[in-house]
Structure 1
Amino acid sequence: MKRAMRAVRSLAPLLLAGCAMAPQPAPSPTLDVPAAWRGAAAHAGTGAAVAPGWWQSFGDAQLDALVRRALASNGELRIARARLQEYGARVRIAAGAQQPALSLALGPGRARAIGPLGQPVVVTSVSGSVQAAYEPDLFGRLGSATEAARFEALSQEAALEAVALSVAANTASGYLNLLGLDAQLALARATLASRERSFTLARHQFEVGYSSRLEMSQAEAELHATAAVVPQLERAIAQQEGALNLLAGASPGPVARGAPLLALRLPAIGPGLPSELLRRRPDIAQAERAVAASDASLAAARSQLLPSIRLSATLGAQGHSLGELLQSPTALWSIGGSVLAPLFDGGRLRAQAEIAGTVRDRAVFAYENVVRGAFAETENALAAIDGLTRQLAQAEARRRAAGETLRVAHNRYANGYASYLEELDAQRNAFSAENTVLQLRASLLAAHVDLFRALGGGWSASE
């Protein structure tokens, strides 16, 4: 017996060495974090983290109510919450494998067999037992599997926050676009009323002989061109309302408005340092936790190559009837253990470990891609805010000049000093300038939403 134990102890190191697998190091990092953002807009604001209710900074109570309703009822968010519950259950399953298992068995039986004298004998038996089993985690396989499940659950938690950020940002962008369409529709209707007055005047002057049919026809054509813009904008508004209701998990219908487009505030946002973005965005945290989960899965896969030990114990009783089982049973018990060591499996376990290594490598590459995308989105949002701000200033100056040109042209035409073509050209320029200002204002507000989204929207990764 002692010789056998010495032989086992001498063979154990060789067995472990044969089961071991060379380490699979992670790929070399290629991520280069910039030291600062580019452009003048990068230095605006305080650089503090984005507040959780960032959409309130626009100063519209209806926008706040709409975003909150979307965060409570959006269908994609409900799916993400259910998925998070699933991964929480997976963590409990993985952790349960590290705990002892206890089970109760009760088995009545009746059989007819041949007795010692060759006569048939009917035997009735009732047995009950309590079984316990436990697998010591000698090489960390079960712990690694539990750790992988925990990081996968944390990754899904960050994924839920990423979906919530996307829903809030899409809702805010859609609402701001809706206000922009409302402002353009109001401008189109006001311009249409002006075109109707111009056409009435041109027709009157043609009838009394003060102008030609050409001027009256041009005024009529401009009237119809402006009238065609109104249903186009009304259709776009209805489609935008439908998209907002879908985000909010509501049925199709009108969307309540608050402040008009030009009354909304332009929030001041400080982007801070690029390195701070790594803890602000939930999609970066999701990718980072996916790397940790894949690394733990790799450790669990490598541990499959090592021996595992399972301990078991059974305590039971047996009798020929239920009464005998309860009063004077025959005691039964067993204690045992087993060692399972892979010797030959056709390379299956090693291939599984190699697959886990490639999954870990892909998670690292995906993390770097997500971070680079986050840097690019932030740079684009900052550049958009800077460019749109300067473009809007020029558009407002053009609007003022076009308005003054229209006033002078109208007076000249009304007093007979100029043709209607001069006023018509001034009307077109004034409408175009006013419409451009509204579009740029809506785009600038949407660019602030994009920056909120790029900076993580008020979410910060927990430790």
Structure 2
Amino acid sequence: MSRSEKFFAHRPALAATALAALLLTGCSLPALTQAPESARPAMPERWAQDGGSAAAPAVQALWWQAFGDPELGRWVELALVRNNDVLTAMARVDEARANLELAGSAAMPQVSASLPAAANRSLSSRTGQMVHVRSAQPVLQASWELDLWDRLGQLSQAADRRLQASQADRDAVRLAVAATTAQAYIGLRSLQAQLGVAQSTVGSRENAVRLADDQVRVGYISQLQQSQALAELESVKQSVEQLSLALERQRIALMQLAGGGGDEQARALMQTTLHGGTAMLDTIELPALPAPGLPSSLLERRPDIVRAQLQLAASDSNLAAQRAAFLPQVSLNANLGSLLINALDYSPAKVWSIGGSVLAPLFSGGRLQGQFDAATAQRDQAAYAYRGVVIKALAEVETALVGNQLLQSQWQHAREREKVLERSLGFAKDRYEAGYASYLEELDAQRNLFAVQQEVLRLRQSQLENAVALYQALGGGWQRSEGPV
């Protein structure tokens, strides 16, 4: 009988050993359970606030272009390339891809080579003399675990789902960075506009103070009215300083989003934003409200929800792999080499071995059960995490839809109030010049107009930021990639 025939003659014995081990461990195999029913998110049939007609435009991938400001687009695109959170998320994708390769390699045959060598000096029992013996044994080793119960396959599948989850996480980070950058740019433009109104008001108040000084000298008004004019001037000057500080802080925040203060591109773009471009907030268009679709459509439109889905699927695969660990593991091993002693011209002896092994867990002190219970708890955590992401997403869309309607109404009321106060200021000036009212009445009208002008700008900023939040809540036009990214 040849060597190969002798080996394969023992295969029934190996199979019998595996069957016996399976029977011994089968009685203790734990049952797989489903995720808790309480972890299932409840999806409403429709939005409480539909936000508009069914003919509203869908969310586009480059949604920031809907605001009609090329400079805003340049800031967002720069942040998507240079932002540190985006770069970190991309590195996590690389790590997940490497882990997938590592998990896949466990199911492949493992081949290695070794070259043990030794030298010793001992007393020969035959001749009574000291002899030197040098030996070397180059060996080629191969091993392969037969994945009979798909344990390694489940681990590889879990790694693949984690890779897809990391890709969705990267896209979620990109969406968050784009939205945050857009809102920071809108905030910067709003502060510039508010500062422009404040500086213009300072000029008018300085003229008013000079006029009050002249009128005090001729006794036309009292020093009380003059002091009120001075106080109003100082108040507006203080507002200018406050707005300047807020603008500088907003500039730093925007630079940080785009890669930090040391980034040359960000510095050059900031110079254009602050000095080369217009500071009017009206240059940013309020886009038409995008169609929210059905609430259930969020499950495929938001990358953070898809990430949570994939993480839940990965935990299911890991749980199945932990269950398969209770079953016997079957491995094949083979060694092939040569044995060389002393002389290089010595004809080496061939050395080989081939065999298999069955490792059946009979008693582990509760280790396997503990690992399975831990994997079950991790799966349940992933299920609740998925539910939490869905609840958060639904709330974000509803909040943005409600905000769109109410902020528009507030802005319109503020605009009407601004028009009324402009007329009131004109009436107060006419009454003062005609001698029917004191200068304090005109100062009060100026104060009210300045306050509402700032409020109009802040409400427009809130409208634009809310539109950005809605785009982000609807997934920003994201579509799941079917292939490797």
TM > 0.5: yes
Q: How does 1:25-104 map onto structure 2 within 5 Å?
A: 25-28=34-37, 29-39=39-49, 41-43=51-53, 46=56, 48=58, 50-104=59-113
TM, length-normalised to structure 2 = 0.90
User: SS state of the match for residue 111, structure 2?
Assistant: strand
Deviation at 1:5, TM superposition (A): 8.0
Letter in 2 for 1:228: Q
Deviation at 1:198, TM superposition (A): 1.2
Report whether the alignment pairs 1:324 with 2:363.
no
Which residue does the alignment assign to 1:371? 390
Which residue does the alignment assign to 1:338? 357
Of residues 406-415 and 439-448 in structure 1, the stretch that sits farther from structure 2 once superposed is: 406-415
Query: 1:148·1:293 contact (CA, 8 Å) conserved in 2?
Result: yes
Report whether the alignment pairs 1:261 with 2:281.
yes
Of 395, 420, 424, which residue of structure 2 is paired with 1:405?
A: 424
* 1:177-213 residue CA offsets vs partner (Å, 9 max, x unmatched): 1111001000001111111111111221111111111
Aligned residues: 460
Which residue does the alignment assign to 1:299? 320
Of 151, 167, 179, which residue of structure 1 is paired with 2:161?
A: 151
User: SS state of the match for residue 272, structure 2?
Assistant: coil
TM, length-normalised to structure 1 = 0.94
Identity of counterpart residues, as a percentage? 43
Of 227, 248, 270, which residue of structure 2 is paired with 1:217?
A: 227
Which residue does the alignment assign to 2:3? none
Query: 2:330·2:359 contact (CA, 8 Å) conserved in 1?
Result: yes
Deviation at 1:255, TM superposition (A): 5.2
Deviation at 1:432, TM superposition (A): 1.5
Of 443, 447, 454, which residue of structure 2 is paired with 1:424?
A: 443
User: Aligned in 2, Cα 1:388/1:5: closer, same or farther, shift over 3 Å?
Assistant: closer
Separation in 1 of the partners of 2:12 and 2:475? 66
Query: 1:45·1:271 contact (CA, 8 Å) conserved in 2?
Result: no
Query: 2:18·2:358 contact (CA, 8 Å) conserved in 1?
Result: no
User: Aligned in 2, Cα 1:171/1:53: closer, same or farther, shift over 3 Å?
Assistant: same
Separation in 2 of the partners of 1:278 and 1:374? 9
User: SS state of the match for residue 41, structure 1?
Assistant: coil
Of residues 267-276 and 6-15 in structure 1, the stretch that sits farther from structure 2 once superposed is: 6-15
Deviation at 1:158, TM superposition (A): 1.2
Deviation at 1:407, TM superposition (A): 1.5
Deviation at 1:412, TM superposition (A): 2.3
Separation in 2 of the partners of 1:25 and 1:53? 39
User: SS state of the match for residue 344, structure 2?
Assistant: helix
Letter in 2 for 1:347: G
Q: How does 1:129-168 map onto structure 2 within 5 Å?
A: 129-168=139-178
Report whether the alignment pairs 1:434 with 2:453.
yes
User: SS state of the match for residue 323, structure 1?
Assistant: coil
Deviation at 1:167, TM superposition (A): 0.9
Separation in 2 of the partners of 1:385 and 1:176? 16
Deviation at 1:322, TM superposition (A): 7.1
* 1:90-140 residue CA offsets vs partner (Å, 9 max, x unmatched): 110100001111112223322224445254432122221211111110001
* 1:337-393 residue CA offsets vs partner (Å, 9 max, x unmatched): 111000111111011001000100110011001000000011001111110001111
Query: 2:18·2:328 contact (CA, 8 Å) conserved in 1?
Result: no
* 1:387-406 residue CA offsets vs partner (Å, 9 max, x unmatched): 00011111111111111111
Separation in 2 of the partners of 1:321 and 1:162? 66
Structure 2: stretches of 5+ with no match in the other structure:
1-9
Separation in 2 of the partners of 1:266 and 1:352? 54
Of 164, 185, 194, which residue of structure 2 is paired with 1:175?
A: 185
Q: How does 1:182-261 map onto structure 2 within 5 Å?
A: 182-251=192-261, 254=270, 256-257=272-273, 258-259=277-278, 260-261=280-281
Separation in 1 of the partners of 2:111 and 2:11? 34
Deviation at 1:418, TM superposition (A): 2.2
Of 10, 26, 37, which residue of structure 2 is paired with 1:17?
A: 26
Query: 1:19·1:306 contact (CA, 8 Å) conserved in 2?
Result: no
Query: 1:388·1:440 contact (CA, 8 Å) conserved in 2?
Result: yes
Report whether the alignment pairs 1:459 with 2:478.
yes
Structure 1: stretches of 5+ with no match in the other structure:
none
Separation in 1 of the partners of 2:107 and 2:199? 71
